[in-house]
Structure 1
Amino acid sequence: MARDLRGFLKLLEQRGQLRRISALVDPDLEIAEIANRMLQSGGPGLLFENVKGSPYPVAVNLMGTVERICWAMNMEQPQELEALGRKLSLLQQPKPPKNFAQAVDFGKVLLEVLRAKPGWDLLPPCQQVVIPEAKLDLQQIPMIRPYPGDAGKIITLGLVITKDCETGTPNVGVYRLQSQSPKTMSVHWLSVRGGARHLRKAAERGQKLEVAIALGVDPLIIMAAATPIPVELSEWLFAGLYGGAGVNLARCKTLDLAVPADAEMILEGTITPGEQVADGPCGDHMGYYGGVEDSPLIRFHTLTHRHDPIYLTTFSGRPPKEEAMMAIALNRIYTPILRQQVPEIVDFFLPMEALSYKAAILSIDKAYPGQARRAALAFWSALPQFTYTKFVIVVDRTINIRDPRQVVWALSSKVDPERDVFILPATPFDTLDFASSKIGLGSRMGIDATTKIPPETNHPWGEPLESDPAVAAMVERRWAEYGLADLTLGQVNPNLFGYEMGA
């Protein structure tokens, strides 16, 4: 499969996971409404070939299932994502190997790093057509407006590429951009993100910040850019590690920035420090319209693209959305990385219903009093993304953290709110979270739902109820003899307990 968007579209079509739409559709509200219905039902990716007001087709919902995200990353099963995370964890905090087998494993990872080194394309497909500033009109790009209250059309899956003016280190992020005029857009990024840091450094030097936007890239690169892992490696190298081969890059026509050579479109522009415009309101991942914020203005002066380019997009909102599917995959990737940083964590889960980062459930192998609180505090500081996690629930390793029935049981049977709930007030917070009393400043809650040991409690804990092992084994052997072979052994029907859709 070719390492670009077109190769992925071909793969989806071969596997019956792409539907081409030839009917005329409007990028204003209509495309998002159709795509949202596909997302809700786990339907296929969509390619709209006849888009009102634009000569370019629009692809959406390509990463609307975890299965398709695995395909984008050259994998077939979600379990393979954790194997990738284990490799990355060796790079995160490398330790001297203790035996020959560990040395061999580490050596293999280093070889993969060498293979993942980006290459360069002198005649990149993304520059087959060059449109100078005089002819530039961003309105030709079929940007969508997902919700009726949105202030304008948006770009959501563009790679926003900037560079540190001191070190030359690039940053590749996925930030929302809002159309402002035929040649300008505002960019919405949090102050902790790489692009915002680069802009502050440029401002200190009195320089403009160069910005390139890569549209229609290999979905694998999008996953690499969305991975919040604090390793001194570029997103290009991550993408190479994800895909098993280096990403082809190209130099921009007018900027000193590298971009994916096989992207469908590249926008080249600059931000003048201090030049801001009103951005928003815009429907966001919290399930509400975000407020109006002053955001940096990008002035574009060049557009390059492939012949007959394809525009890739998505949109935010209350889950399930494509970003939620991406978060589920990323959860599996950085589980081993989190274990490397916080050894007592056995597993962790970010429920999609909690926006994939607002609540985290950790399981630990508890060995001493206060360990659950320590694990929660360590989690909040482990990765930048977890800065905005509002609730952390810590349970014993015997609890299946992906089963809400087991988690709720642990909360109900193991928690004394006065003893086991702790609050961290006035911490930096997500500006899109309207529940906080002050925008950008909020509190966090940790809940210790583990079995308590002295001196956490001054009375013995009850013994858990369990079946007799010998009787359980006998029943399993005789299941067909009971005349119950047509019933799945031990499987709980969630419909009996109010968990069916709409209950």
Structure 2
Amino acid sequence: MARDLRGFIQLLENRGQLRRITALVDPDLELAEITQRVLQSGGPALLFENVKGATIPVAVNLLGTLERVCWAMHMEHPQELEGLGQKLGQLQQPKPPKSPGEFIEFGKLLFDVIKAKPGMSFFPVCQQVVQQNEQVDLTQIPMIRPYPGDAGKVLTLGLVITKDCETGTPNVGVYRLQLQSKNTMSVHWLSVRGGARHLRKCAQAGKKLEIAIVLGIDPLLIMAAATPIPVELSEWLFAGLYGGTGVNLSRCKTLDLEVPDNAEFILEGTITPGEIVPDGPFGDHMGYYGGVEDSPLIRFHCVTHRKNPIYATTFSGRPPKEEALIAIALNRIYTPILRQQIPEIVDFFLPMEALSYKAAIIAIDKAYPGQARRAALAFWSALPQFTYTKFVIVVDKDINIRDPRQVVWAISSKVDPQRDVFILPDTPFDSLDFACPKVGLGSRMGMDATTKISPETDQIWGEPLASDPEMATLVTRRWAEYGLSDLELGAVDPRLFGYEIDGGR
């Protein structure tokens, strides 16, 4: 499979996970409405080949299932993601090998790093067509408007590349951009993100910030850009580790920036520090329209693209959305990295329904009093992505944290609100969280739902109920004899717990 957007689309088609839409579809609202319904049913990726007002096809819902996210990572099963997380954890906090076995494993990791280093391409296909200055017309790209209250057309699935003007270290991020005119867009990024840091440095140095937007790439690169890595490391290196071979880069036509050589589009421009325009509102991942914010304005002076390009896009909103499925995959990758920093953590889970980062459920191997609170506090500072996690629930290692029934049971049976719930007031927060009393400032809640040990409680904790092991074995052996072989052993009908199936009546 070619490591580009077209190769991934071909893979999906070969596996029956792509539907081509030849009917005329409007990129204003209609395309997103179709995609929303397909995504919610776990349906295939879509390639709209007849988009109103455009000659460029639009690919969407490429990563709309966890299975397809794994395929993008060159894996077949979600369990393989943890192995990748272990490798990344070793890179983030390397330890000298202490035994021959560890030395061999460390040598394998170094070899992987060498293979992952990016290469350079001098004849990039992303520059087959070049348009500069007055030729630039961003309205030719079939950007979509997902919701009726959106301020305009939006670009959501592009890599935004900038460079530190002092150190030359690049940053690759995924930010939302709003079309402002035929050659300008505003970029919406949080002040803690790499692009915003680079802009502040350019402002101090009295320079413009060079910025490149990369559209239509190997989805693997989207995953690498979304992974939390140390500032001094390169997303290209991580993408190479993800894929097993280095990413081929090429230099922009007019900027001192490097971009993937096989992208569909490259937009080249600059930001003048202090030049801002109103951005928004847009439907966001919280499930509401965001506000209007003054955001940096990008002036584009060059667009390059492949012949007959394809435009790939997505959009935010209340889960499930593609971003939520990506977050589930990253959850698996984060787990070994988190264990390395907080050893007592056995597993952790970010439920999609909690926007994949607002609530975390952590299972720990509890050994001493107060350990659950320590684990919650350590979690909030472990990775930048967890800065805005509102709720952390800590349970024992024998709780299946992906089963809401078990988690609710642990909360209900093991938590005394006065003793086990703690609040951190007035902490920095996501400006899109309307539940916060002040913009960018909110509180966090930790909950200890573990079994209490002395001196956490004076109560003698009851013995947990369990079947007699010998009888359980006997019943399992005789299950077919009872005439119950058509019933799955251990399966529980969710309707017994008040959950509806297929939306109920």
TM-score bracket for this pair, using the shorter chain length: over 0.9
Partner of 1:495: 495
Counterpart of 1:159 in structure 2 is 159
SS in 2 for 1:353: helix
Report the counterpart of residue 171 of structure 1 in structure 2.
Answer: 171
8 A Cα contact 1:70 1:78, kept in partner: yes
Name the structure 1 match of 2:30.
30
SS of match in other structure, 2:256: coil
* Cα distance between partner residues in 2 of 1:231 and 1:404: 36
Q: Where does residue 346 of structure 1 map in the other structure? A: 346
Partner of 2:3: 3
Q: How does 1:443-458 map to 2 (within 5 A)?
A: 443-458=443-458
Residue 80 of structure 1 is matched in structure 2 by 80
Aligned-partner Cα distance in 1 for 2:437–2:503: 31
Q: Which residue of 1 aligns with 2:39?
A: 39
Aligned twin of 1:118: 118
SS of structure 1 residue aligned to 2:296:
strand
1:91 touches 1:231 (CA, 8 Å); kept in 2? no
Q: Distance in 2 between matches of 1:81 and 1:232?
A: 23
State the 1:271 CA deviation: 0.6
In structure 1, the residue matched to 2:229 is: 229
Tell me if 1:405 matches 2:402. no
Aligned equivalents of 1:502 and 1:449: distance in 2?
30
Q: Secondary structure at the match of 1:283?
A: coil
Q: Which residue matches 1:430?
A: 430
Contact 1:215 1:311 in 2 (8 A): yes
Is the CA contact 2:54–2:141 (under 8 Å) kept in the aligned structure 1?
yes
Contact 2:169–2:232 (Cα < 8 Å) also in 1:
no
Give me the whole-angstrom Cα distance separating, in 1, the residues matched to 2:230 and 2:477: 50
Distance 1:498 1:59 in 2: 39
Structure-1 separation of matches of 2:299 and 2:37: 35
On the 8 A contact 1:92/1:231 being kept in 2, the answer is no
| Aligned counterpart, 1:379 | 379
Equivalent runs, 1:308-327 vs 2, <5 Å:
308-327=308-327
Aligned to 1:357: 357
* AA of the residue aligned to 2:245: A
Q: How does 1:116-265 map to 2 (within 5 A)?
A: 116-230=116-230, 232-265=232-265
Mapped partners of 2:260, 2:301: distance in 1: 19
Distance 1:97 1:73 in 2: 28
Paired AA for residue 52 in structure 1: K
**What's the RMSD between the two structures over aligned residues?**
0.9
Determine the C-alpha separation between the residues in 2 that align with 1:104 and 1:232: 26
TM-score w.r.t. length of structure 2? 0.99
What is the rounded CA distance, in whole Å, between the counterparts of 1:419 and 1:497 in structure 2? 28
Instruction: Determine whether 1:20 maps to 2:3.
Output: no
The separation in 2 between residues aligned to 1:200 and 1:94, in whole angstroms, is: 31
- Residue equivalent to 2:101: 101
The corresponding residue for 2:59 is 59
1:178-211 CA-to-partner distances (Å, cap 9, x unmatched) read 0111111010111111111111111111111100
Kept after mapping to 2: 8 A contact 1:230/1:383? no
The worse-fitting range, judged by mean Cα deviation, of 202-211 and 100-109 is: 100-109
Q: Distance in 2 between matches of 1:234 and 1:300?
A: 25
Amino acid at match of 2:279: D
Matched length: 503
* Whole-Å separation in 2 of the counterparts to 1:125 and 1:493: 54
C-alpha distance in 2, partners of 1:186/1:304? 20
Shift of 1:490: 1.2
Where does structure 1 lack aligned partners over 5 or more consecutive residues? none
Secondary structure at the residue paired with 1:289?
Answer: coil
The one-letter amino acid paired with 1:312 is A
Partner amino acid, structure 1, of 2:118: P
- One-letter amino acid of the structure 1 residue matched with residue 288 of structure 2: Y
- Residue 484 of structure 1 aligns to a residue whose secondary structure is coil
Distance in 2 (alpha carbons) for counterparts of 1:457 and 1:185: 58
- Structure 2: gaps spanning 5 or more residues: none
Matches of 1:501 and 1:354, distance apart in 2: 21
SS in 2 for 1:203: helix
SS in 2 for 1:399: coil
2:368 aligned partner, one-letter code: Y
**Equivalent position amino acid for 2:428 in 1:** P
The answer as to whether partners of 1:162 and 1:195 remain within 8 angstroms in 2 is yes
Query: 1:114 is paired with a residue of what secondary structure?
Result: helix
Shift of the alpha carbon at 1:501?
Answer: 4.1
What is the distance in 2 between the residues matched to 1:153 and 1:231? 31
- TM-score of the pair, normalised by structure 1: 0.99
Distance 1:16 1:495 in 2: 33
The answer (yes or no) to whether the contact 1:20–1:49 under 8 Å persists in 2 is yes
Query: Does the 8 Å contact 1:59/1:310 carry over to 2?
Result: yes
Task: State the Cα distance separating 1:270 from its structure 2 match.
Answer: 0.5
Distance 1:381 1:101 in 2: 32
Q: Give the superposition deviation at 1:231.
A: 6.3
Superposed CA offset, 1:50-74 (max 9, x none): 1111111100000000100111111
Distance (whole Å) between structure 2 residues aligned to residue 34 and residue 226 of structure 1: 26
Indicate yes or no: 2:48 matched with 1:48.
Answer: yes
Alpha-carbon separation, structure 2, partners of 1:104 and 1:147: 53
Which residue identity does 2:388 align to in structure 1?
Y
2:431 and 2:440 in contact (8 A); partners too: yes
Q: Deviations over 1:431-470 (max 9, x none)?
A: 0000000010100000000011111101211111111111
- Between the aligned partners of 1:411 and 1:232, the Cα distance in structure 2 is 40
Q: Distance in 2 between matches of 1:106 and 1:67?
A: 30
Report the alpha carbon displacement of residue 98 of structure 1 after superposing the two structures with TM.
2.8
- Give the % identical residues: 79
- 2:440 is aligned to 440
Aligned partner of residue 94 in structure 1, secondary structure: coil
How far apart are the structure 2 equivalents of 1:231 and 1:177?
23
Cα contact 2:69–2:326 (8 A) shared by 1: yes
